[in-house]
Structure 1
Amino acid sequence: MNPQEDGPKSEVTATLLKVLVHRRIDRGMRLEPHASRCVRAGEVHELVATDHDETAPGARIDRVAFLGFAEITAAGVLDRGDEVWIGGRRVGVLLGFDGCHLPNHYNVLIRADPAPTGGELGLAPGEPLVFRQGCPGPHG
């Protein structure tokens, strides 16, 4: 993403539907080449925390902690570097996307170190989630 091309945008809101509590060190997700994705109201996507920080297309993401599934409530654009807030807590920064489950859903990869699971954060279904525009640059 070129900061000179990145203007202001609306927040993308969502609601947590399901909390996930597991982690993997050998997941083998692959980072999509896209730094941004449009999402529609009603779509459901999986939220996955990772301590990886590589943003090259195809980068392998192995160390992951699963946060949960969320339903988008206000359509918009998710960009690498967006801050991710769940229930008023900053969870991390959007790293990118893995499309291994498409067309069902994206894995929305969130950079956090250490990478927590939804259970470790004490998340609960129904909590509000917000993607807020972060600072320019690869990681916000």
Structure 2
Amino acid sequence: MTTTRTSAIAAAIAAIRENGPKRTVHGSLVKVLLHRREDRGMSLEPYASRCVRVGEVHELVTTDHADSSPGARIDRVGFLGFVELERAGVIDRGDTVRIGDHAVGTVLGFDACHFPNHYNILIATPTTLTGSDLALAPETRVAFEPQARP
């Protein structure tokens, strides 16, 4: 086995050991957004997780980009809306985003171009989706569910 492969396996095992169980973070939509962009120019933060507090409002943005490396440029996006968090916790890259009864996608990462006002929470989806595509309405429940651990 090569040294590079051995290092990658060791890093994966360490990541699994450092991340134990966590609770679901949830909230409700406060505003629905209906537009898409092909040239948005968002940039992924280097952090795999963000702590969030009760009452914070963050923007939900879908993308078909798959690159989660720090600084990756995200251009193709669909805007779902803003969520007010009703339960504090940690949102991790890879968490399932559930809106109403539907799993919409997984957290790809975070863009902080509007921070400290809010984060853009980037959600990996097969195609970009908007609030109108999903027939979203204010007060729809949103949950960030922990990813399954091996």
Which category describes the TM-score, using the shorter chain as reference length? over 0.9
Structure 2 vs 1, CA of residues 59 and 136 (structure 1 numbering), >3 Å: closer, same or farther? farther
Which residue of 2 is the match for residue 125 of structure 1?
138
The match for 2:19 is 6
Task: Give the Cα–Cα distance (whole angstroms) in 1 for the partners of residues 148 and 23 of structure 2.
Answer: 14
Q: Which has the higher helix share?
A: 2
With normalisation by structure 1, the TM-score equals 0.95
What does the per-residue CA deviation read over 1:87-139, in whole Å, with 9 as the maximum and x for residues that have no partner?
111010000000000110000000001121011100010011100001359xx
2:147 aligned partner? 134
Structure 2 gaps, min length 5? 1-11
Would the aligned equivalents of 1:81 and 1:136 in 2 still touch at CA under 8 Å? Answer: no
Q: Which of 94, 99, 109 in structure 2 is aligned with 1:81?
A: 94
Higher strand share: 1
Distance (Å, rounded) in 1 between the aligned partners of 2:78 and 2:44:
16
Kindly provide the amino acid, as one letter, of the partner of residue 30 in structure 1.
Answer: S
Do residues 44 (structure 1) and 51 (structure 2) align?
no
Q: Distance in 1 between matches of 2:141 and 2:68?
A: 27
Aligned counterpart, 1:114 = 127
Structure 1 runs (4+) deviating above 6 angstroms are none
Quote the Cα distance in structure 2 between the aligned partners of 1:90 and 1:72. 18
Q: CA deviation at 1:4?
A: 2.3
**Residue in 1 that maps onto 2:73:** 60
Structure 1 Cα separation of the partners of residues 59 and 108 of structure 2? 14
Q: How many pairs were matched up?
A: 137
Q: State the TM-score, normalized to the length of structure 2.
A: 0.88
